[in-house]
A and B are shown apart, each in its own frame.
Chain A
C-alpha cells in the first residue's frame, strides 16, 4: 500500500501547493458537490468522493497539512523539495532460502524539478606544475588552457595562479577578475624549471583560496601535473583532507603517462573531487573548461548517503556509477558523495547481502541523504525506508533494466580493477585473461578504442612484458567514464 505522503493530495483537489486554506476549502466544496454519490451528476463516483474527502482531511487542516508537506519534502516530493531521488531495488520479493543472497539498490539523485539553479561565484586557484618535464608542448597547452579559463570566468569570480617546481611561486594572488589583462600576462610568464614538489604548490594554492573562501562561493583548487612528487605525498594528503573539511574542493589533472594515478586519485577523493587523465596535451583546454563549467553548475555539495541496515541485511559494496564510476568506501555507515552538478544526476549502486528471514515484509535498510545546497544556504535531508517481502515463491518480476544496465558497465570497471591487482600480485595469466575479457565486453558495447587498448595490453602481458602506463591509465579512466553513458 502506498503511504499517505506518496500521493499528491494537492493534485487530487486540483490546487497548487501554495494555495491558501480558503482556496483549498473552495476547491473541496466544488469537487465534493460534483462527485458526491447522491449528486445525480454523470461523474458521481463513491471512490473519487472518498479520495477527495481524504485529501481534504489532511490539507484542510493547517497542522496536518504542514506535517504532510514536511514528510513529502523529506522524500524529495512536493513543492518544498530541493533534491529529488529515485530508489529502485532489484527485487520487490525475495525468495526464502537458507543461504545468503544478493540484492541491489540503485539510487538516482538530482535537483528537484522546481528547484532553482543559481550559479555561485567561483573561487578558483590553478596550481600548475612547471617542472622541466612540462617544457614545450605540455606547458604551452596548459598556458593556453589557463588563458581560456580567465576568459570564461565571470566578474564576480576570483582566480589565483600558483606555479611549482622545487618550490612554489604565487604568480597571481587570488583576486577578482576585473583586470583580465593582468591575469593573462601572469599566465604568459610561466617558465619551466626544476623538479616536481607538489606539497609547496598545494599549500600555496590553498592559502590563496582561503583568502576569498566563504560559505556562498565554490572554492576549488585545480592541480595540473605530469609527474610524481617524492617524499611529500603523505603530507599532501593531510593538506587535502584539511581542505575537504573546510569545503574546499580539489581536482587533479594528470598529463601524459608518468604521474602517480593512485596518489592523484586519493588526493582528489579527500575533498570529494575527481582526478582526470589527459593523454594528449591538446585535451587540457577542453578538460579544464569542462571542470570549470561543472563547478559553475554546482547544485549541492558535501552530499552524504547514510545506510542503516536492518537485522537481515548488510553492505557488500557501494559504487558511484554516474557521472563517473568510483568505488565508495563506507565510513560509519556513510558514503561521501561530494558534489552534485545541476546537469549530471548522481547515481549510486549498493550491493546488499540479505540473510535468510521469516516470511513477510521486512525493512532491509533505511537510506538518508544529506546535502548542503549553497543556493539555499541550508542543509537538505531525504529519508526513505526500503522494504522487501520474503516469500516462498516470489513472483519473479524481472530486475529493472536500469540496474542491469548499471551493473553491466560496473562489471567492466571492476574487472579492470582486478586485472591490475592480479598483475601486482604476479598472477600474470589471470591478469591477461581479465584484460581479454574486458576487451571482448568493451567491443560488444561499441567501445572500440578502449577494447583495442585492453587487447594490446593483454598481449604485452602474454609475452611477459609490462603493461604500458598509457594503457593502464587509458583503460582505468576510460572504463570509469563508461558511467557517463548513463542508462
Chain B
C-alpha cells in the first residue's frame, strides 16, 4: 500500500488521487499553493450553460485534433473537446494541460504552465494565448493574448520556442 503524504490515508499502488484529501499521489504535491493571478485563470463556468453550446448555435460535431511536436518528432492525438489547454503539468497548482509539453523540453523552451488554449467552435479550431510569459506564435506571427485566431491544417504554432504543427483529420 502507498500512503498519502498529506492525510496518511492508505491506497493501493497505482492510485493517482487521494480519495480523502484529493492530493495527486505520484508527486504528493503540496496542497496549498499561492493562488494564481485572476487574469490568468478562466472565469467560473459552474453555472454557465452557454459553455456547452454557445447561444444561437446548433450543437456541433467536435473533431479530434493531432499535434506534431517538431523538435521531439512526437505526434499527439488530442481528445475532441471544446477546449484544450497547452502548457506544462504542475500538479501542485492543479494545472493539468491536455497537451503537456514538459517531456519535449517545455521548461527550457519557455513554455508557461498555462500557455495557450485551442478552442473548437462551429467545426473550426482557434488558438488563443492565455497570457503566457514568452508568447504564442502562429506561422511566425506573435498573437495578441486572449484573442482567438483561426487555425488551419498545416499551420505552425510556436509555444515559447517550441514549434508544433497542426494536423486536422
Nearest Cβ on chain B to A312's Cβ, whole angstroms: 13
CB pairs A–B below 8 angstroms (8 shown) = A90-B16, A102-B11, A102-B14, A342-B61, A408-B24, A446-B38, A447-B46, A487-B79
Nearest Cβ on chain A to B94's Cβ, whole angstroms: 4
Q: Which of B48-56, B66-74, B133-141, B152-160 contacts the other chain?
A: B48-56
Say yes or no: B61 contacts A117, CB within 8 Å: yes
Say yes or no: B16 contacts A487, CB within 8 Å: no
Say yes or no: A437 contacts B31, CB within 8 Å: yes
Say yes or no: A101 contacts B96, CB within 8 Å: no
Say yes or no: B103 contacts A398, CB within 8 Å: yes
| A165 adjacent to chain B (CB < 8 Å) | no
Q: Contacts A102-B15, A102-B16, A290-B53; is A345 near B62 (CB within 8 Å)?
A: yes
Q: Contacts A111-B61, A487-B81; is A99 near B1 (CB within 8 Å)?
A: yes
What 14 additional pairs, Cβ within 8 angstroms, besides A117-B61, A344-B59, A433-B21? A102-B12, A279-B47, A296-B58, A343-B62, A399-B16, A404-B24, A404-B89, A405-B97, A411-B17, A446-B44, A482-B46, A485-B45, A487-B79, A487-B84
Say yes or no: A113 contacts B59, CB within 8 Å: no
Bound-state Cα–Cα, A487 to B117, Å: 11
Classify the interface of chain B: helix, strand, loop or mixed.
loop
Per-residue interface assignment for chain A, residues 443 to 487, with 1 indicating a CB less than 8 Å from any chain B CB and 0 otherwise: 111111110000000000000000000000010011101101111
Size class of the B contact interface (CB-based, 8 Å)? 35 or more
Nearest Cβ on chain A to B165's Cβ, whole angstroms: 19
Residues of chain B at the chain A interface (Cβ within 8 Å):
1, 11-22, 24, 26, 31-33, 35-36, 38, 40-47, 49-53, 58-64, 77, 79-85, 89, 91, 93-94, 96-100, 103, 169
Per-residue interface assignment for chain A, residues 273 to 314, with 1 indicating a CB less than 8 Å from any chain B CB and 0 otherwise: 000000100010011001001101100000000000000000
Nearest Cβ on chain B to A295's Cβ, whole angstroms: 10
Bound-state Cα–Cα, A437 to B32, Å: 9
Residues of B within 8 A of A343 (CB): 52-53, 58-62
Say yes or no: B79 contacts A408, CB within 8 Å: no
Say yes or no: B22 contacts A104, CB within 8 Å: no
Q: Contacts A99-B1, A286-B50; is A353 near B12 (CB within 8 Å)?
A: yes
Say yes or no: B17 contacts A287, CB within 8 Å: no
Bound-state Cα–Cα, A296 to B60, Å: 12
Residues of B within 8 A of A293 (CB): 53, 58-59
CB under 8 Å from chain B, chain A span 402-427: 402-405, 407-408, 410-412, 414-415, 418
Say yes or no: B98 contacts A487, CB within 8 Å: yes
Nearest Cβ on chain B to A262's Cβ, whole angstroms: 20
Residues of chain A at the chain B interface (Cβ within 8 Å):
86, 90-91, 94-95, 97, 99-104, 108, 110-111, 113, 117, 279, 283, 286-287, 290, 293-294, 296-297, 322-323, 341-345, 353-354, 398-399, 401-405, 407-408, 410-412, 414-415, 418, 433-434, 437-438, 440-441, 443-450, 474, 477-479, 481-482, 484-487
Residues of A within 8 A of B85 (CB): 487
Residues of B within 8 A of A283 (CB): 47, 49
The CB with the most chain A CB atoms within 10 A, among B12, B46, B81, is that of B46
Residues of A within 8 A of B14 (CB): 90-91, 94, 101-103, 354
Residues of A within 8 A of B21 (CB): 415, 433-434, 437
Say yes or no: A294 contacts B36, CB within 8 Å: no
Residues of B within 8 A of A484 (CB): 45, 51-52
Nearest Cβ on chain A to B74's Cβ, whole angstroms: 12
Interchain CB contact (< 8 A) of B38 among A411, A441, A448: A448
Nearest Cβ on chain A to B122's Cβ, whole angstroms: 10
Bound-state Cα–Cα, A479 to B79, Å: 22
Nearest Cβ on chain B to A396's Cβ, whole angstroms: 11
Nearest Cβ on chain B to A34's Cβ, whole angstroms: 26
Say yes or no: B80 contacts A345, CB within 8 Å: yes
Residues of A within 8 A of B96 (CB): 401, 404-405, 408, 487
Residues of B within 8 A of A403 (CB): 16
Say yes or no: B38 contacts A345, CB within 8 Å: no
Bound-state Cα–Cα, A486 to B83, Å: 7
Task: Name the residue of chain A whose CB is nearest to the CB of B94.
Answer: A444
Bound-state Cα–Cα, A354 to B13, Å: 10
Bound-state Cα–Cα, A323 to B59, Å: 13
Interchain CB contact (< 8 A) of B52 among A90, A290, A444: A290
Residues of A within 8 A of B84 (CB): 487
Interchain CB contact (< 8 A) of B63 among A113, A412, A449, A479: A113
Nearest Cβ on chain B to A479's Cβ, whole angstroms: 8
Say yes or no: A437 contacts B22, CB within 8 Å: yes
Task: Name the residue of chain B whose CB is nearest to the CB of A344.
Answer: B52
Nearest Cβ on chain A to B112's Cβ, whole angstroms: 15
Residues of B within 8 A of A404 (CB): 16, 24, 89, 91, 96
Nearest Cβ on chain B to A320's Cβ, whole angstroms: 15
Nearest Cβ on chain A to B87's Cβ, whole angstroms: 10
Task: Name the residue of chain B whose CB is nearest to the CB of A86.
Answer: B79
Say yes or no: A401 contacts B59, CB within 8 Å: no
Task: Name the residue of chain A whose CB is nearest to the CB of B11.
Answer: A102
Say yes or no: B32 contacts A440, CB within 8 Å: yes
Say yes or no: B44 contacts A108, CB within 8 Å: no
Q: Sorted from nearest, which 8 A-B pairs have the closest CB atoms?
A: A446-B41, A343-B59, A486-B81, A297-B59, A478-B46, A444-B94, A102-B14, A101-B14
Task: Name the residue of chain A whose CB is nearest to the CB of B6.
Answer: A437
Residues of A within 8 A of B58 (CB): 293, 296-297, 343
Bound-state Cα–Cα, A438 to B43, Å: 17
Nearest Cβ on chain B to A89's Cβ, whole angstroms: 11
The CB with the most chain A CB atoms within 10 A, among B18, B35, B43, B96, is that of B96
Bound-state Cα–Cα, A244 to B84, Å: 35
Residues of B within 8 A of A412 (CB): 22
Q: Contacts A104-B16, A343-B60; is A486 near B100 (CB within 8 Å)?
A: no
Say yes or no: B80 contacts A108, CB within 8 Å: yes
